[in-house]
Amino acid sequence: MKPASIDLPKTPTISPTPRSRTYERGVSICIPAFNEQETIETSIITAAQTLQQTGLPGEILVIDDCSTDATWRIMERLAVDVSGLRIRRHDRNRGIAETFMELYEWARMDLVFLNSADGQWKMGILLEMLPSIKGFDLVVARRKQKQYGGGRLLVSWLFNVAPLLMFWTRTHDAGSVKLVRREIYDIPIQSRGVFAEAERIIRADRRGYRIGAVDVEHCERLSGKASGAKPFLVCEAIADLMKCWVSIVLLRRA
């Protein structure tokens, strides 16, 4: 059976920021991986299946952030047979924020879908989010119920409330996966830690891009370890938050 095609507008309704590059029509599925040997094969295969179901051209980009298990060997094997799969490996662990930035820069399609390899978000949610890109330029997968402990829930809540109070921007669920028009990743940001995802939403909103959300199911992590609530990462995020407030609110450099 021929996969159902989803009709999308060729260009966003508004383009507040001139494009510095031209992107191909389609979807780039971006996946960061670190010690994901239990789930990386399923993630890549379901990404390929989901991409086919969209009926759109696309690519699957996976970066192994210097895993110490069999993640890279599995990726190399799959790269032989999975159409559209492109892989890279870091020679040292660079962390999730830097890996995200490399994936965004690598993407060449005009839509970017970021997902993890640890099983927390099913690849099929891309199909739920695609219709919303007709009315929005950045769509956040807002988790109905987060599979976190109490401390991590508090940190997550605070970093979603702070942008609303300090920048008048609703980030919805900044730490979740997103479907984003590729040109938004050309907006310069200054955060180099986990606050970078929230900063990008804030700056996109300030430039007139339309921010939306789709409620999705959030599953328990099947591989890897959560690190977002480590004290040094939280402190780094707070520092980035304050720097952004000075830049965007006081100096008006959106």
Percent of the chain with pLDDT over 70: 85
SS (H, E, C) the chain: CCCCCCCCCCCCCCCCCCCCCCCEEEEEEEEEECCCCCCHHHHHHHHHHHHHHHCCCEEEEEEECCCCCCHHHHHHHHHHHCCCEEEEECCCCCCHHHHHHHHHHHCCEEEEEECCCCCCCCCCHHHHHHHHHHCCCEEEEEECCCCCCHHHHHHHHHHHHHHHHHHCCCCCCCCCCEEEEHHHHHCCCCCCCCCHHHHHHHHHHHCCCCEEEEEECCCCCCCCCCCCCCHHHHHHHHHHHHHHHHHHHHCCCC
The per-residue pLDDT for 218 is: 77
The per-residue pLDDT for 202 is: 97
Q: Rounded distance, CA 149 to CA 170, Å?
A: 23
The per-residue pLDDT for 194 is: 84
Close Cβ partners of 196 (under 8 Å, ≥ 6 residues apart): 97, 100, 101, 189, 240
The per-residue pLDDT for 15 is: 42
Which regions of the chain are under pLDDT 50? Answer: 1-19, 228
The per-residue pLDDT for 13 is: 40
Query: Which structure tokens are listed for 145?
Result: 């119920």
The per-residue pLDDT for 22 is: 84
The per-residue pLDDT for 41 is: 97
**Contact present, 57 and 25 (Cβ < 8 Å):** yes
Domains of the chain plus CATH, in order, are: 24-250 (3.90.550.10)
Q: pLDDT tens across 197-243, in order?
A: 999 999 999 999 999 999 988 776 555 555 545 788 888 989 999 99
pTM score above 0.85: no
